[in-house]
Amino acid sequence: MNQAPIPHVLVGRYDVYILAEGQFRMDGGAVFGIIPRPQWEQKMPPDAQNRVALGLNQLLIRGPDTLVLCDTGVGTKLSPRQREVYGLGPLSPWTDRLAPLGLAPSDITHVVFTHLHFDHTGGATVFADEGREVRPAFPQADHYVQEGEWDDACLPPEGESFAYQFSHFLPLRETGRLHRLRGSRQLLPGLQLHVTGGHTRFHQEIRVTDGGRTVLFPGDVCPTPHHLSIAWRTSYDRFPLETIAARRRLLAKAFQPDVLVVFSHDPQPAFRCLTGSPDQPEAVARHAPA
């Protein structure tokens, strides 16, 4: 079977790829919050258990002497019961996922987390030697997360412990390669980490800007193209007003020329440009690599 091409654009000195891990399923009412089912099911039809299919997408940024992975997906450690709950099919290890690009996990130099929920950090660690011991999946990489996000993940707010799994991120602390950031910053030339809040208290988005082009990876403040409208928020946002503010900033930025957006849970992952207006935005896939 021929593998589908990996979506790719050139952003100045950086080659930017979308690594699609597959799909998982979440309750449609939770994914769309206050939006009535007759409206959201037209965009994302649910299954018999009221679950909608969401993508599991990560960003890979390849530059001179750097390979930056943004989020790490659900990974391969989930139990059979967890896989059943989330409707997960077979998932490939990182060795297989990176091989089409001629890469190995040891080639990754930086890992950046938008936040530490299980579907964004599961691939950061793997089982060692067919056992239950867990080790980092990217042994040569420095890992970056907001310090406040790390603190919240280690001591989850009431009612949110289900969203974090310690085995996904705690082993990173022992490597000496975990960097807990305090606020927005430039990680590399043209690569910005910007704290948005909203979905979690210290959620951050990634921006790649170089050569007159920008790619935005907004994480879960706007998880799919269907969440561009301000009212279409998920029930998982801890701070809804901050999500609204972050979404407005995203719309203001993304309507500019030469700006592309990659949505972490887009069921049909693509580099998308925004059309329409901030009141009625649409995200159109850009099919041709450039």
- pLDDT class for 257, splitting at 50, 70, 90? confident
Q: Are 243 and 198 a contacting pair, CB within 8 Å?
A: yes
**pLDDT tens per residue across span 191-229:** 999 999 999 999 999 999 999 999 999 999 999 999 999
How many angstroms separate the CA atoms of 186 and 6, rounded?
Answer: 27
Distances (CA, A) of 12 to 15, 61, 211, 234: 8, 11, 4, 34
Of 260, 252, 246, 248, nearest to 200 (Cα)? 246
Question: 30-44, 61-75, 272-286: which range is least confident on average?
Answer: 272-286
**pLDDT tens per residue across span 117-150:** 999 999 999 998 766 789 999 999 999 999 999 9
- pLDDT class for 159, splitting at 50, 70, 90? confident
Fold classification of 8-286 is Metallo-beta-lactamase; Chain A (3.60.15)
Question: 41-45, 59-63, 131-135: which range is least confident on average?
Answer: 131-135
Three-state secondary structure call for residue 74:
coil
- Kindly report the average pLDDT of the chain as a whole number: 93
Map out the domains of the chain as residue ranges.
8-286
pTM of the shown model: 0.94
Three-state secondary structure call for residue 216:
strand
pLDDT confidence of residue 1: 42
Decide if pLDDT at 3 tops 70.
no
How many angstroms separate the CA atoms of 110 and 17, rounded?
Answer: 15
- Within 10 angstroms of residue 182's Cβ, the number of other Cβ atoms is 10
